[in-house]
Homo-oligomer: A and B are copies of this chain.
Amino acid sequence: MTVFPPQEFARRRAALQAGMADRGQDALLLTSPADVFYVTGFLTRFWESPARPWFVVLPRTGGPVAVIPDIGVDLMSTCRVAEIRSWPAPDPVDDGVTLLAGTLADLVPETGAIGLPMGLETSLRMPVADFDRLCRALAPRRMVDATETVQRVREIKSELEIDAIRAACAVADRAFGRVPDIVAGAGSLAVVFRRFQAALLDEGADWVSYLAGGAGPDGYGNVIAPAGPAPLQPGDILMLDTGAVKDGYFCDFDRNFAVGPPGDTARRAYDVLHATTEAALAQFRPGMTAADAHRVMVGAIRAAGGIPAGGRLGHGLGVTLTEWPSFTDRDRTELRAGMVLTIEPGVVSAEGRIMVQEENIVLRADGPELLSRRAPLQMVEIAP
A-to-B contact residues, CB < 8 Å: 1, 32, 34, 43-46, 48-51, 53, 69-72, 74-75, 88-93, 95, 116, 118-129, 131, 145, 190, 193-195, 197-198, 201-202, 204-212, 221-228, 243, 310-312, 315, 320-324, 326, 328, 330-332
Contacts and interface: CB of A to CB of B under 8 A. Distances in A.
Given A202-B194, A227-B206, A321-B49, A71 B123 contact: no
A312 B75 CA distance: 17
B51 A224 contact: no
A108 B285 CA distance: 48
Which of A34, A205, A209, A228 has the most CB atoms of chain B within a 10 A radius of its CB?
A209
22 contacts: A1-B225, A32-B50, A46-B224, A49-B210, A49-B322, A51-B324, A71-B310, A74-B225, A75-B225, A89-B311, A90-B326, A90-B328, A91-B330, A92-B332, A123-B126, A193-B206, A194-B201, A194-B204, A194-B206, A195-B201, A206-B226, A207-B208
Contacts of A198: 197-198, 201-202
B1 A328 contact: no
Contacts of A53: 123
A204 B195 CA distance: 10
Contact of A224 (B75, B190, B324): B75
Contacts of A51: 121, 315, 322-324, 326
A348 to B, nearest CB: 12
Given A71-B310, A311-B69, A50 B322 contact: yes
B222 A75 contact: yes
B207 A197 contact: yes
B311 A44 contact: no
A222 to B, nearest CB: 4
Contacts of A208: 197, 207-208
Contacts of A131: 128
Contacts of A116: 128
A123 B123 contact: yes
Which of A70, A88, A222 has the most CB atoms of chain B within a 10 A radius of its CB?
A222
A288 to B, nearest CB: 17
Given A128-B116, A129-B118, A222 B50 contact: no
Contacts of A95: 120
Contacts of A312: 90
Which of A70, A128, A326 has the most CB atoms of chain B within a 10 A radius of its CB?
A128
Given A90-B328, A129-B145, A34 B50 contact: yes
A211 B222 contact: no
A340 to B, nearest CB: 15
A256 to B, nearest CB: 18
